[in-house]
């Protein structure tokens, strides 16, 4: 929505033309209405606007609001309004909301919900975070396996309004076992008296997940098979819910964000940055910083052991940061590619030796180019007054080459080792590798210095 449209709404609001505002809002898309309500700083006005929305769209708009505004609204509306809202929300949106708000709001909401919905919500709240059960919804189209196409379409016309999607229908038997799926498209393009069992996907083509499957797996399945919704079954293979493509996209974004955070040494958090408090932000950042700071005691010790020698040869100390930086950056490049490849399923553990062999060749090339560049750089420095000797230039250039090769080898290996140990490869990213590579770089550097200079 652009500034102009916002401006028009604000103008109506300022003039208190609520009738006109309501008409204007009713014509807008739900996410835009939600955007306008979230843009209002004054919570009282947010609530006022929410209340003038036509009853049949308020739940839809509610599901697009952030948790903050949702809480504000729920705390300001009447018990019967809450009851109606919870009735109109899809179960997955209701659960998403209840998972984020304080216990007292949850209690009040549940107290105003009818028994059946309450039981469903309570069951959903017990699923562990990030499993299929916790993100699914129950509003799917179920068709009995005795129906024909015409009967199925009639059934969808009758019940479809309340379903989150009607584009993939799920065929169940008498015991609610999932026995097939059928895209609405196939229903429409087939003869009216065809039995569903004849045109549904079954057996080998039947794709589903179970309630306890990880959401990352659900997203991978949806991507691989281009599904608009993924059916979820319980342990007895009974259909209990579906996960729709809009939630799949949220999962994909969430998983990528988690990897970004882990790679930057942050304890992953599901909250938006802008809404996270200062203390939680600090808490998410301190642990790894301390671990790595303590780990760097090791590089300190190595330098201390070499300090007397460093101080007699000009230029040796000055190159330490460059070497460490180059090592860290090189390792980082290799590990990022491998981590992302693993996350997208483009790389498998069995590819390790292919990758290693590739990285060794790449690093020899990269190392050689960098070593030559460094050679040139240091010659130039000497021309402009630095008093480094030939042997120092040689040592540093050789160290650059060695450091690139070693750090790329480590960088491509650690994520795969992590995967083998069932750890998250994203943890093996930049900073962790940097610290390891820093230590090894120093050892190589000083060993070369010892061999060539001293």
Report, in Å, the least distance between residue 354 CB and a second copy: 7
Residue 324 as a binder of a second copy (CB under 8 A): the answer is yes
Residue 366 as a binder of a second copy (CB under 8 A): the answer is yes
For residues 207 and 222, give the distance between their C-alpha atoms in angstroms, rounded to a whole number.
Answer: 9
For residues 170 and 247, give the distance between their C-alpha atoms in angstroms, rounded to a whole number.
Answer: 19
Q: Which of 113, 211, 330, 413 binds a second copy (CB under 8 A)?
A: 330
Terminal Cα-to-Cα distance of the chain (whole angstroms):
69
Pick 174 or 226: Cβ nearer a second copy:
226
Closest to 232 (Cα-Cα) out of 204, 203, 212? 212
Residue 349 as a binder of a second copy (CB under 8 A): the answer is no
Residue 301 as a binder of a second copy (CB under 8 A): the answer is yes
* Contact (Cβ atoms closer than 8 angstroms) between residue 438 and residue 324: yes
For residues 71 and 77, give the distance between their C-alpha atoms in angstroms, rounded to a whole number.
Answer: 10
Report, in Å, the least distance between residue 134 CB and a second copy: 20
Pick 160 or 195: Cβ nearer a second copy:
160
Pick 109 or 187: Cβ nearer a second copy:
187
Residue 453 as a binder of a second copy (CB under 8 A): the answer is no
Residue 198 as a binder of a second copy (CB under 8 A): the answer is no
Residue 268 as a binder of a second copy (CB under 8 A): the answer is no
For residues 5 and 440, give the distance between their C-alpha atoms in angstroms, rounded to a whole number.
Answer: 59
Report, in Å, the least distance between residue 452 CB and a second copy: 19
Residue 304 as a binder of a second copy (CB under 8 A): the answer is yes
Residues 143-172 that bind a second copy (CB under 8 A): 153, 156-157, 160-161, 166-167
Residue 293 as a binder of a second copy (CB under 8 A): the answer is yes
Q: Which of 374, 415, 436, 449 binds a second copy (CB under 8 A)?
A: 374
Q: Which of 14, 103, 279, 383 binds a second copy (CB under 8 A)?
A: 279
- Say which residues have a Cβ less than 8 Å from residue 73's Cβ, sequence separation at least 6: 46, 47, 50, 62, 65
Report, in Å, the least distance between residue 210 CB and a second copy: 15
Closest to 349 (Cα-Cα) out of 358, 360, 357, 341? 341
Report, in Å, the least distance between residue 296 CB and a second copy: 4
Report, in Å, the least distance between residue 232 CB and a second copy: 18
Report, in Å, the least distance between residue 83 CB and a second copy: 25
For residues 54 and 17, give the distance between their C-alpha atoms in angstroms, rounded to a whole number.
Answer: 16
For residues 301 and 303, give the distance between their C-alpha atoms in angstroms, rounded to a whole number.
Answer: 5
Q: Which of 234, 427, 431, 453 binds a second copy (CB under 8 A)?
A: 431
Binding mask 32-71 toward a second copy (x if CB under 8 A, else -) reads x---------------------------------------
Q: Which of 48, 51, 176, 340 binds a second copy (CB under 8 A)?
A: 340
Report, in Å, the least distance between residue 26 CB and a second copy: 10
Residue 228 as a binder of a second copy (CB under 8 A): the answer is yes
Residue 231 as a binder of a second copy (CB under 8 A): the answer is no
For residues 145 and 279, give the distance between their C-alpha atoms in angstroms, rounded to a whole number.
Answer: 55
Report, in Å, the least distance between residue 347 CB and a second copy: 6
Closest to 452 (Cα-Cα) out of 317, 313, 300, 327? 313
Sign of torsion, CA 348 340 264 102?
A: negative
Residues 83-122 that bind a second copy (CB under 8 A): none
Q: Which of 188, 353, 383, 422 binds a second copy (CB under 8 A)?
A: 188
Radius of gyration of the chain (CA): 30
């Amino acid at each position: 929505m652009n500034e102009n449209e916002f401006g028009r709404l604000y103008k109506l609001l300022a003039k208190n033309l609520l009738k006109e505002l309501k008409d204007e809002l009713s014509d807008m898309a739900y996410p835009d209405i939600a955007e306008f309500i979230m843009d209002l700083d004054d919570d009282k006005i947010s609530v006022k606007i929410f209340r003038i929305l036509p009853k049949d769209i308020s739940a839809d708009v509610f599901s697009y609001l952030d948790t903050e505004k949702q809480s504000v609204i729920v705390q300001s509306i009447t018990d019967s309004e809450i009851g109606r809202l919870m009735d109109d929300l899809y179960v997955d949106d209701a659960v998403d909301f209840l998972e984020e708000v304080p216990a007292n709001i949850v209690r009040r909401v549940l107290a105003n919900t009818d028994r059946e919905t309450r039981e469903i919500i309570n069951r959903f709240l017990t699923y562990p975070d990030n499993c299929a059960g916790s993100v699914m919804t129950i509003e799917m189209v179920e068709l009995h396996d005795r129906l024909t196409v015409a009967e199925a379409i009639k059934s969808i016309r009758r019940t479809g309004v309340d379903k989150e999607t009607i584009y993939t229908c799920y065929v169940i038997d008498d015991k609610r076992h999932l026995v097939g799926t059928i895209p609405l498209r196939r229903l429409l393009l087939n003869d009216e008296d065809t039995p569903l069992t004849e045109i549904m996907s079954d057996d080998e083509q039947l794709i589903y997940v179970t309630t306890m499957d990880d959401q990352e797996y659900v997203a991978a399945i949806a991507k691989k098979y281009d599904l608009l919704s993924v059916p979820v079954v319980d342990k007895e293979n009974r259909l209990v819910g579906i996960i729709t493509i809009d939630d799949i996209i949220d999962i994909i974004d969430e998983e990528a964000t988690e990897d970004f955070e882990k790679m930057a040494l942050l304890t992953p958090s599901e909250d938006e940055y802008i809404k996270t408090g200062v203390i939680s932000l600090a808490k998410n950042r301190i642990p790894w910083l301390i671990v790595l700071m303590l780990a760097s005691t090791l590089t300190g010790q190595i330098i201390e052991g070499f300090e007397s020698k460093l101080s007699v040869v000009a230029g040796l100390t000055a190159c330490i940061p460059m070497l460490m930086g180059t090592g860290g950056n090189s390792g980082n490049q290799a590990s990022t590619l491998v981590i992302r490849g693993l996350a997208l399923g483009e790389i498998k553990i069995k590819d390790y030796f292919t990758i290693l062999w590739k990285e060794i060749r790449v690093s020899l090339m990269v190392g050689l180019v960098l070593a030559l560049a460094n050679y040139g750089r240091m010659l130039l420095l000497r021309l402009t007054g630095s008093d480094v000797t030939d042997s120092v230039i040689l040592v540093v250039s050789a160290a650059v080459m060695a450091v690139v090769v070693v750090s790329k080898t480590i960088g491509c290996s650690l994520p795969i080792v992590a995967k083998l140990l069932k750890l998250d490869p994203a943890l093996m990213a930049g900073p962790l590798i940097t610290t390891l590579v820093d230590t090894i770089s120093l050892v190589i550097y000083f060993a070369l210095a010892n061999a060539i200079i001293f």
